[in-house]
Amino acid sequence: MLRICPLADLPAGEAIRVDDVSPPIAVFHTDDGEVYAIDDTCTHQDASLADGWLEGCEIECPLHASRFDLRTGAVDAPPAKRGVRTHAVTVTDGDIFVTLSQDAPNLPPGVSV
């Protein structure tokens, strides 16, 4: 399990990129107070989803506006075709922890772990 940061350090509506794991992950704190973690790299091309636009439970890629559901990783809007890998999140004693998925990541062409 990976300790990310205190929940208080990640305001609602914000995201943090964690690049001391490979591939990097992105952790989001939604306006509804939920916390989600997904692979940071868009499945379409090499863009950081932590730099995208968070709306509800969806993140919009900053490069070509694909949208992914943070709860499932599913693609909600193209051009991405493959969902993004999700990771389990817990908040314990005010700290965010992520358990990395054992599934293979859906990295875009040209990007490797």
| Binding stretches for ligand FES (CB under 6 A) | 42, 44-45, 47, 61, 63-64, 66, 79-80
CB of 62 to ligand FES, least distance (A): 7
Instruction: Match 């992105």 to its residue by tokens.
Output: 26
Q: Which one, 7 or 83, has the nearer CB to ligand FES?
A: 83
Which is it for strands 14-18 and 2-6: parallel, antiparallel or unpaired? unpaired
Q: Which one, 12 or 64, has the nearer CB to ligand FES?
A: 64
CB of 69 to ligand FES, least distance (A): 14
Please report the beta strands in 30-102, taking only residues with DSSP state E, as ranges in sequence order: 35-39, 53-55, 58-60, 67-69, 75-77, 86-92, 95-99
Q: Which one, 21 or 108, has the nearer CB to ligand FES?
A: 108
Contacts of residue 109, defined as CB under 8 A and 6 or more positions apart, other chains included, come to: 45
CB of 74 to ligand FES, least distance (A): 14
